[in-house]
């Protein structure tokens, strides 16, 4: 029988305090970068060895970008960092009393634990009813959706049944936040500018794109003006928008709604929300609505040495009674702030409370079409908002190479309407979509359905 010591993750011993970070998303990366030279040993755990820039996953799914342009190796992101260690692992349990994490590769002790593992898709308790829906939270899921879309059109070319052909060219997107709006706009661009050249034998007027939102307007986390503009832009792309309507179930061919109406479609993309991916071992009283309750220092309620940042953290205040929005800027700011506070803890100085600086929200609906809510109640739309959206996302992408690749792709697409990644590299097989694991495992810090910036 193996000894207890043999089960430990191999990390060099150090006389420095050990900070273990669960999750290599926006929050985790920002924290680890700012812990450099703080006199701590940093260990990052993630079930993937890469960081994903999730705001652009929809462009991978619609053949606008290759996945390696929005993803980068975590070891590359934090290179030349003394006493930093990354381990590919799934976190299974937290033992707060022993200050120990149980993972798929062994146990590891910590002095300070930071939970930054983000969120997973929220089916609101109806997972069984949407097993054949496509989530869009991870790179493999985006690639599967891309293959599925292209395979549908290939199949539409060879079928003799008109009803089957129309079902193959019908796409339903659930969720009217930025994820759904941006994906619907990208699909609209494919319909108008790309697919007619690839499939001249098909009548693309038969291609239908539906965006379904349960509330009374789009982009609920943004201004009414931005929601109205997004609706106008989507109509130009011939997207049918259903408001105050909810999807009840999907069996791979039929979309059933709460009013008993149906749509026949071979594709349903789920972008209707996320929920926190809470790790086993966190006390139930420290969790509310699948997010971990934290104080103004991002310390988990009921624990002295465990912190949570990013989407998983729920920090209530007078200004934010429901917690901060689940956005990348919040995660980045919390990561930077917590690094400073961990330095203060070590040097026994007073901690500083976190204060979020809201720099606005934005969403793009396609070429020259975007909406932006900026500080000072400034609401922009059209070409100017689109340029701002591109600039903000470009500078936020990690790695100079990725910035260059994304920029060159965008320039090429803008002038040619051509998307060179319309490749079925890995054919999608129904039922093989890599659904997110609903066990308590770390995933990248994600951007919620409320916006990207």
Residues marked as catalytic: 182
Specify whether the CB–CB gap between 119 and 311 falls below 8 A: yes
Quick one: which of 276, 335, 282 has its CA closest to 119?
A: 276
For the residues of 10-77, what is the DSSP string, one character each?
-----SSPEEEEE--SHHHHHHHHHTTTSS-EEEEEESSSEEE-GGGHHHHHTTSS-GGGSEEEHHHH
Give φ, ψ of 198 to 5 degrees.
-75, -35
Neighbours of 353 (CB within 10 A): 12
Burial degree of 105 (CB within 10 A; 0-12, 13-18, 19+): middle
Give the pairing type, strands 71-73 and 50-52: antiparallel
**How many helices, marked H, and strands, marked E, lie in the chain?**
11, 26
Residue 13, phi then psi, degrees to nearest 5: -70, 150
């Amino acid at each position: 029988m193996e000894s207890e010591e043999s089960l430990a993750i191999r990390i060099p011993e150090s006389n420095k305090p050990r900070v273990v970070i669960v999750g290599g998303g926006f929050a985790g990366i920002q924290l680890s970068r700012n812990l450099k030279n703080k006199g701590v040993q940093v260990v990052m755990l993630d079930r993937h060895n890469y960081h994903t820039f999730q705001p652009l996953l929809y462009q991978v799914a619609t053949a606008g970008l290759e996945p390696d342009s929005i993803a980068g190796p975590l070891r590359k992101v934090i290179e030349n960092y003394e006493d930093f260690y990354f381990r590919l692992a799934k976190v299974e349990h937290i033992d707060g009393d022993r200050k120990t994490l149980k993972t798929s590769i062994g146990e590891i002790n910590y002095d300070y634990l930071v939970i930054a593992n983000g969120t997973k898709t929220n089916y609101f308790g109806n997972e069984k009813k949407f097993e054949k829906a496509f989530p869009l939270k991870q790179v493999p899921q985006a690639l599967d959706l891309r293959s599925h879309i292209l395979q549908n059109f290939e199949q539409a070319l060879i079928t003799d049944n008109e009803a089957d052909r129309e079902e193959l060219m019908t796409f339903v997107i659930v969720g009217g936040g930025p994820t759904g709006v941006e994906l619907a706009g990208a699909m609209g661009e494919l319909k108008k500018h790309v697919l007619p050249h690839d499939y001249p034998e098909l009548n693309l007027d038969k291609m239908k794109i539906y965006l379904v939102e349960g509330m009374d307007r789009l982009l609920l986390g943004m201004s009414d003006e931005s929601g109205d503009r997004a609706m106008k832009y989507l109509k130009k792309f011939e997207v049918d928008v259903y408001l105050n309507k909810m999807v009840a179930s999907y069996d791979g061919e039929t979309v059933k709604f709460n009013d008993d109406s149906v749509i026949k479609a071979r594709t349903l993309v789920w972008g209707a929300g996320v929920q926190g991916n809470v790790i086993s071992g966190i006390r139930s009283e420290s969790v509310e609505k699948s997010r971990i309750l934290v104080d103004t220092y991002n310390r988990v309620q009921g624990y002295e040495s465990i912190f949570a940042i990013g989407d998983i953290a729920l920090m209530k205040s007078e200004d934010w009674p429901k917690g901060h929005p689940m956005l990348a800027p919040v995660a980045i700011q919390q990561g930077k702030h917590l690094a400073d506070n961990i330095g203060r803890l070590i040097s026994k100085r007073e901690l500083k409370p976190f204060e979020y600086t809201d720099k606005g929200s934005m969403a793009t609906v396609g070429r020259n079409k975007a909406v932006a809510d900026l500080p000072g109640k400034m609401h922009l739309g059209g070409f100017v908002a689109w340029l701002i959206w591109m600039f903000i996302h470009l500078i936020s992408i990690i790695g100079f190479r990725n910035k260059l690749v994304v920029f060159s792709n965008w320039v090429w697409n803008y002038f040619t309407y051509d998307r060179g990644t319309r490749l079925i590299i890995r054919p999608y097989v129904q039922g093989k979509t890599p659904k997110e694991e609903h066990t308590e495992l770390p995933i990248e810090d994600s951007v919620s359905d409320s916006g990207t910036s």
